[in-house]
Amino acid sequence: MKDALKRYSIALFILFAVVGLMILGTMGVKSFSDKMVKDANIVENIKPRGENLIK
């Protein structure tokens, strides 16, 4: 187990770093979109126009 951890430690570090960056990026985009909606004074829910595909 210790040998495997030593062998793959760099790969695991890079994997967790990428996952962390993806989570931070997702949270950043979410807060940016919330700020844009707030600045545009959109208060009603946006509903798509078109036919209902779920019957």
Question: Tens digit of pLDDT per residue, the chain (55 long)?
Answer: 888 888 899 999 999 999 999 999 999 999 999 899 888 887 777 777 788 777 6
User: Among candidates 16, 46, 50, 20, which has minimal Cα distance to 33?
Assistant: 46
Tokens of 20: 């962390």
DSSP 46: P
Res 55: pLDDT: 67
The model's pTM: 0.63
